[in-house]
Structure 1
Amino acid sequence: MDTGYRIIIADDHPLFRNALHLAVSQAINNAELQEVDSIAQLMQLLAEQGEVDLLLLDLKMPGASGFSALASLRHLYPDLAVVMVSATEEAAVVMQAMHFGAMGFIPKSTPLPMLVSALDAILAGDTWFPQGISLEQAGADNIAERLASLTPQQFKVLTMLSEGKLNKQIAYELAVSEATVKAHVTAIFRKLNVKNRTQAVIALSQTGEA
């Protein structure tokens, strides 16, 4: 890649911050990593930092209650890709993370090789949730209605995905950052109740739009 990813690890446990740091380093060689141990530090860093490609956010952080931090971040920084990390693995909690707009959920019990694979998928613009948890559980709305919920820009991105274009190509053609494209893709997955690009493109093709 021409430029490295800018990634923030937000966790108040030093040992797990170190584990995430190691996993990110293995998943991508030229990542610029920064670490914070509270929501206050995180908000200050985001305000100073500018564009960040990925935030790995502990569910239980000083200064946050439940999903309040995630909800606030999605409101303040809608283009920021957020992945939740947690000692909790309950399906209901994972589903809540999906609903609040996380593009992934990584249990702290995840083995390092799987953690690396998860980060690889996420940095490529895909989502990653524990096996057995699917967005289909969130509801079974009609596919046309789900497609209708997309914004014009999201629909444009989905069309480009169906043409086989990469995030970098889409970003260039739309004159936006690659991080913005990733955020659009994440929103598309969530709204269509799909887990990856292939399923999103299939959903589009079912309406005759692709």
Structure 2
Amino acid sequence: MPQRFLIADDHPLMRSALRQAVGQAFAGVEIAEAARYEQLRRILEEEPEPDLVLLDLHMPGTSGFIGLMMLRSEHPAIPVIVVSAAEDPVTIRRSIDYGASGFVPKSAPIGQVAEAIRAVLDGQIWTPASEDAGEGADGGLAERVVNLTPQQLRVLAGMAEGKLNKQIAYEMTIAEQTVKDHVTVILRKLGAGNRTQAAVIASQLSLRPPPE
């Protein structure tokens, strides 16, 4: 059975570049593409499970690292390589802390993309050799959010964007009371005293899009 990869990035040129890199390095590979986080989730639910996902942190429909954590929570067996224009050591470290098996800068040459994929498929963690990602980049936040369920992560993403419970309930097609129940559990798991504190913590999981 041929290998199957999923490229998730909202920029067509970046998807094309990644497709070229993957196609040159892995003969006969099948490649699926997603431009939005909802499309990524639909592909994972409806199509054969990929061997690996190449994920942009700034896809529409998600909020920074929360999208990565939702993906890892819903599909823990699928390795994920973050491909991002944000190449600072803190972003690299956080990507690994929140579940990625690798991190590839968007400026990386084609050969480095293939190298990262091979390493991750072999069970390794891959980051740029020149980067010192440091330790404890988020002050233990990863440990506090690791036990959130996929639905709780989606509620947290809404809170990070300043949405009301009513809006979150509508987008998730669940009852508003269910959202309130999730918020209560989220506050406890994050050690937050109120919704505002939880939103501040959630904002630490978001990323500003890099300059074009």
Please report the TM-score for the alignment, with normalisation by the length of structure 1: 0.61
Deviation per CA, 1:73-123: give whole Å up to 9, x if none: 111111111110100101001111011110000100001122222222223
Distance (Å, rounded) in 2 between the aligned partners of 1:31 and 1:86:
23
Distance (Å, rounded) in 1 between the aligned partners of 2:27 and 2:117:
12
- Residue number in structure 2 paired with 1:91: 89
Cα pair distance change 1:132/1:81, threshold 3 Å: same
Q: Is the 8 A contact 1:28 1:120 kept in 2?
A: no
Pick aligned residue for 1:60 from 39, 58, 61: 58
The Cα of 1:46 is off from its aligned counterpart by: 0.6
Q: Is the 8 A contact 1:9 1:20 kept in 2?
A: yes
Which residues of structure 2 form unaligned runs of 5+? 138-212
Matched, 1:101 2:99: yes
Q: Is the 8 A contact 2:79 2:100 kept in 1?
A: yes
Counterpart residue identity of residue 58, structure 1: D
Q: What does residue range 27-66 of structure 1 map to in structure 2 within 5 Å?
A: 27-66=25-64
Cα pair distance change 1:30/1:124, threshold 3 Å: farther
Matched, 1:24 2:19: no
Q: Which runs of 4+ in 1 moved over 3 A?
A: 132-139
- Residue number in structure 2 paired with 1:71: 69
- Of 126-135 and 27-36, more deviation after overlay is shown by 126-135
Which residues of structure 1 form unaligned runs of 5+? 140-210
Secondary structure of 1:83 counterpart = strand
Secondary structure of 2:103 counterpart = strand
- Residue number in structure 1 paired with 2:79: 81
Q: Is the 8 A contact 1:27 1:117 kept in 2?
A: no
Q: Is the 8 A contact 1:27 1:119 kept in 2?
A: no
Cα pair distance change 1:50/1:116, threshold 3 Å: closer
Give % identity: 42
Cα pair distance change 1:30/1:127, threshold 3 Å: farther
Distance (Å, rounded) in 2 between the aligned partners of 1:135 and 1:126:
16
Q: What does residue range 130-209 of structure 1 map to in structure 2 within 5 Å?
A: 130-133=128-131, 137-138=135-136
Distance (Å, rounded) in 2 between the aligned partners of 1:109 and 1:58:
13
